[in-house]
Amino acid sequence: MGLEKVKDEILDKGRQDAKAITDAAKQEARKISADAEKKAKECTKAAEKELKETLEAMERKEMLNAEMELRKEELSAKKEAVEEVFAAVRKSLQALDAKKREAFLKKLLGKADKEIDVGSIYCNSKDAKAVGQNAAKADIIGGLIAENHDGSIRVDYSYETMLDSIKEAHLQDIAGILFSQK
């Protein structure tokens, strides 16, 4: 029976060793599983953070694009309003009565005479009579264009040119008056 006892001890020892190895393997598997789960959570958290940041960046970009589009539309509307104001001014200048037109032309002729030795005058057909016989017709709404005798110097006092000059020099002021929010 001694051999049977040795055999049982060896088997018990083998079972104990197998159980210890199995327990250690199970513990290692739990540790590996926990580490993998921790890493998966970290990756998920990082991916969620990156997704959130990407979405926020996209929202900011969309907002900026929308604001820029709104500013473009606002600027376009303001530009159109300024153009409408100048169109209304042109229309009112065209509709001036003969007395006012003649008075303005005399002032413009006087100004041209101070700048050059006037030889030729160009004006629209309505103003030709007020300017006199040496007036040639020009496609302008009003005012006049004067040249010296040899045509080398020209001063342009047409309403279009004066309005363009006013618009260029005072656009900020005009826009301020039109769009000031009081």
Is residue 126 packed enough to be buried (19+ CB in 10 Å), middle (13-18) or exposed (0-12)? Answer: middle
* Contact present, 92 and 173 (Cβ < 8 Å): no
DSSP 125: T
Percent of residues in the chain assigned helix, strand, coil, to nearest 5? 75, 10, 15
Tokens of 130: 């007020």
Q: Mapping DSSP to helix (H, G, I), strand (E, B) and coil, where does residue 135 land? A: strand
Please give the pLDDT value at position 53: 92
Domain ranges across the chain: 1-95, 96-179
pLDDT tens, position by position, 93-116: 888 888 999 999 999 999 999 999
DSSP state of 117: -
The pLDDT-based confidence of 181 (bands split at 50, 70, 90) is low
Place of tokens 């303001």: 78
Residue that is written with structure tokens 């309403």 in the block: 159
Residue 30 pairs in a beta bridge with none
134 contact partners, CB below 8 Å, separation of at least 6: 120, 121
E strands, the chain, are 118-123, 135-137, 143-148, 154-158
Give the pLDDT band (50/70/90) at residue 144. Answer: very high
CATH placement of domain 96-179: 3.30.2320.30
Name which of 13-27, 37-51, 113-127, 136-150 the model is least confident about. 13-27
